[in-house]
Structure 1
């Protein structure tokens, strides 16, 4: 039987995580249903769940206990796990939506992620939760000057904002223009047409039914979502009368509050 999925032999699908294990596996599974990648790599201290175990290579890593640890791995170690020309990085709340939206020109750039509309300058591309990165960029990121590495920014903001001018001038790194990035993915902006993928739990809950949303949210660690994200999701649930989702979010908020007191 022929495999009619989009074939991207130049791209490695990769997830890096120590948290939200089942949800991250779901994101990889949904992406693998739609695309045949050159490789698929699960970078985690925990083995891949059964839903993807036969479809990915498990690269065991040290536990990533903080966001800073995740950022350091993405900047300094991800290149060790990618042998193709590009890597598609996914997280638990983002995956491939429409393989027909793939454009070969995506591979002409070293970094593509959804546009950040809350910035008002020319460095708005973009979000790292669902992002395409060249192996060249991954190699360059190993040698970021200390003034960038010590900035405290998350890895995607460090690449796309803090160090972007240096990456472009010193290494010729090419960031996708905003118009192309919008065809690649959406996050904090309304989607334009039918993009290749997405990121953001607030988009994820719109794409799956209420019961599935409630199960997913109940299964991830309390501190994965910020207080603002919990509030945003609660407003979404009330507006759509998704009472099961609202109950899960309220319980999560209570657990966060209790954890801070202990």
Structure 2
């Protein structure tokens, strides 16, 4: 039997709306991980919690507050060597696909579509998995964002910005300032904690010894949206997943509410392969009405 005693499952939610679904994600994941601890971080404790899940009270969080919490305060609620982050839209699928090799790294997670490409002369950001076309090209260093909503982090990673105050969060200038009403935004989501840790700050973190899992391991660990790098992936081989489209709304039986119409999911690359994998695992799927 696998031993997960080095790991604490953590779900951080700053709003009441997602709290019960976060409990579902913790419960479903914990059932498969004997020896692991589990912590729900939220402003108010639920009326009841399943055995094995602890509650830690935190202040209400905005979307951006969440990123600051994960970069600077996560270590305060975790006593084990590793934290496995789960959310109402990201959780463990199958611990038969777990590998102890994941523990050899400070950060492991599914790849995201945003990526950073460094050359000797500049840094370029790309989206929609365009970074995959640049892999292994001479003179280019490709850094895909590694998803933070379902990921494994070592305590060293959780404390990285505490123990190395010289490494500072850097916000590039926004690349979109337009619209009516006028809006400021970043195509590469530079304000998000996973983009910061795994792309913006990655060279500095690696320079002080932090280790990020290689691409092939990230592809085995889980999936967000599928891209060209997932063309040959067996969806049944995944340890977990995270995607805002797929929300866990029940666990007995496990039920996923898609936040999109089935017709849209069918047009998304390999999304229905993910849906069929969930059904094969006993999940019930719900999609938004086609006339919504």
Q: Indicate whether the TM-score tops 0.5.
A: yes
Q: Which residue of 1 aligns with 2:214?
A: 177
Q: Which residue of 1 aligns with 2:100?
A: 104
SS state at 1:24 partner = helix
| Residues 104 and 92 (structure 1), Cα distance of their counterparts in 2 relative to 1, 3 Å cut | same
Deviation at 1:213, TM superposition (A): 3.9
Ranges in structure 2 where 5+ consecutive residues have no aligned partner: 114-128, 135-141, 173-189, 273-283
Q: Which residue of 1 aligns with 2:191?
A: 153
Say if 2:255 is the partner of 1:235.
Answer: no
SS state at 2:38 partner = strand
- Pairs within 5 Å for 1:170-249: 171-189=208-226, 190=230, 191-192=233-234, 193-203=236-246, 212-214=255-257, 235-236=264-265, 245-247=287-289
Decide which structure has greater helix share. Answer: 1
Distance in 2 between residues matched to 1:243 and 1:75, nearest whole Å: 33
Deviations 1:3-40 (Å, cap 9, x if unpaired)?
Answer: x6x42011111111023112111111110111124321
Q: Is the 8 A contact 2:161 2:167 kept in 1?
A: no
Decide which structure has greater strand share. Answer: 2
Match of 1:116 among 91, 112, 119: 112
Aligned residues: CA RMSD: 3.3
Deviations 1:91-124 (Å, cap 9, x if unpaired)?
Answer: 1101111111111110000001101242516211
TM-score (norm 1): 0.75
| Residues 99 and 247 (structure 1), Cα distance of their counterparts in 2 relative to 1, 3 Å cut | same
Distance in 2 between residues matched to 1:172 and 1:92, nearest whole Å: 32
| Residues 184 and 144 (structure 1), Cα distance of their counterparts in 2 relative to 1, 3 Å cut | farther
Q: Is the 8 A contact 2:260 2:287 kept in 1?
A: no
Q: Is the 8 A contact 1:183 1:196 kept in 2?
A: yes
Match of 1:90 among 86, 89, 108: 86
Distance in 2 between residues matched to 1:233 and 1:18, nearest whole Å: 29
Match of 1:131 among 145, 151, 165: 151
Say if 2:3 is the partner of 1:7.
Answer: yes
Deviation at 1:203, TM superposition (A): 4.8
Deviation at 1:236, TM superposition (A): 2.8
SS state at 2:90 partner = coil
Distance in 1 between residues matched to 2:9 and 2:260, nearest whole Å: 31
| Residues 82 and 106 (structure 1), Cα distance of their counterparts in 2 relative to 1, 3 Å cut | same
